[in-house]
Structure 1
Amino acid sequence: MEDKELSPQESLDLIQAMISKARKRYSDNGYYFLLWGWITAIASLFHFFTATYTSFEYPFAAWSLTLVGAVLSVIKSNKQKKRAQVTDYTDKLYGWLWLSLGLAMFTIIFNGDRLGWNTVPFILLLAGVGTNVSGAMMGFRPLQFGAVVFWLLSFAAFRVEENYQMLLMATGVAFGYLLPGYLLKKNYSKNAL
């Protein structure tokens, strides 16, 4: 079978079709944004309230939920890979983006003592990068709006004490992960019918 040379319009149509398929796969139903949004919101609020209003010695304990999130993300990702007929370059790029950001966030948190536990501004900054690039890849503006919120809150987080940074983190994920995640889920449900 010989390769057919495509006209410029056919090339554009093929690229557009590939982008549309990729967007649908990425947006799926907003699962990852909802999963990580709720985990982060719960952990942030627990940390804030226990550190501010109780004598509980381990306000960071709720952050162990991130281990559950990591396991659930791996399970979901493996299921999606098994169902996918083809994995293309953009799928890999998207996965590597979030894996890289996750490792960067882990490195920051793991070395938090060296930063005086002032890790939240950096996490917000990196979350903004991930949501902005994800929003651009999907053509989904609410994620890009969420990225701007993350970046503004990162700027503010450098200027408030650690406990109140947790409120900024919860606010960031509300606008950067949860709101876009529910919009993705709504769009997916509407278009899947």
Structure 2
Amino acid sequence: MQEQEFSPQQSLNLIESMINKARNRFSENGHLYLLWGWVILVCSIANFISAYFFNSLETLKYVWMLTVPTVIYQMIYLARKEKNEKLKTYADDIYNYVWVVFVIMGFVSGIILGKSGNTSLFNPVILSLYGMPTFLSGVILRFTPLKIGAFCCWVLALVSMFIPMVFSFLLLAIAVILAWIVPGYLLRSRFKNQN
């Protein structure tokens, strides 16, 4: 079997990859955690205000439309980021697939819950789903605040089963603060210090 010869650039990329793995350096800057954290926070609080003060959930479908331009922005952001990355590790691939699975699970769960007509379970299910990619991301990135945020999501999902639905929007807001916004700022700080 003939050994494969590396070009000088491939050799440098391999060495850089090994150094980055050894240093546990990562390219996660917290940007998307902050983006989605703030978008979901605004939507959740708007839904709470609408339901509690105006006794209307009609705004539910309109407020959450804010996620559509956010998804478009995220796709553009990730495409540009991937284009600028010099090398991609196996951990990066796993990290991305964790979030793809989350989106698919959220979409499927939304359809199932919508079809069942049991809207009171929507926020508990979403809260429990938030915990899965957050926890796995914390494991992959070796970042404890994400793991703690995930546990907070799971506890809040259970709590939301025992309170009126209107208040579960506040729990959703608390969850994204603890699971995405606070860790997002901490990730940003860690990224700046490492780079």
Deviation at 1:109, TM superposition (A): 2.1
Aligned to 1:95: 96
Aligned to 1:54: 54
Scaled by the length of structure 1, the TM-score of the pair is 0.84
- 2:128 counterpart (110, 125, 130): 125
> Matches of 2:147 and 2:161 in 1, distance apart?
22
Aligned to 1:39: 39
> Matches of 2:102 and 2:161 in 1, distance apart?
20
- 1:146 counterpart (131, 145, 149): 149
Cα RMSD of the aligned pairs, angstroms, is: 2.1
Equivalences for 1:11-26 in 2 at 5 Å?
17-18=20-21, 20=23, 23-25=25-27
> Matches of 1:66 and 1:137 in 2, distance apart?
26
Q: Does the 8 Å contact 1:30/1:184 carry over to 2?
A: yes
Q: Does the 8 Å contact 1:146/1:172 carry over to 2?
A: yes
> Matches of 1:183 and 1:81 in 2, distance apart?
22
> Matches of 1:164 and 1:182 in 2, distance apart?
26
Question: Which amino acid is 2:51 matched to?
Answer: A
> Matches of 1:33 and 1:109 in 2, distance apart?
21
> Matches of 2:33 and 2:100 in 1, distance apart?
14
Question: Which amino acid is 1:175 matched to?
Answer: L
> Matches of 1:108 and 1:126 in 2, distance apart?
9
What is the number of residues matched between the two proteins? 179
Point out where structure 2 has 5 or more consecutive residues left out of the alignment: 5-16
- 2:180 counterpart (156, 177, 181): 177
Residue identity (%) = 26
Point out where structure 1 has 5 or more consecutive residues left out of the alignment: 4-13
Relative distance call for 1:81 and 1:166 in structure 2 (3 A) is: same
Aligned to 1:108: 109
Deviation at 1:182, TM superposition (A): 0.6
Question: Which amino acid is 1:43 matched to?
Answer: C
Q: Greater shift after overlay, 67-76 or 48-57?
A: 48-57
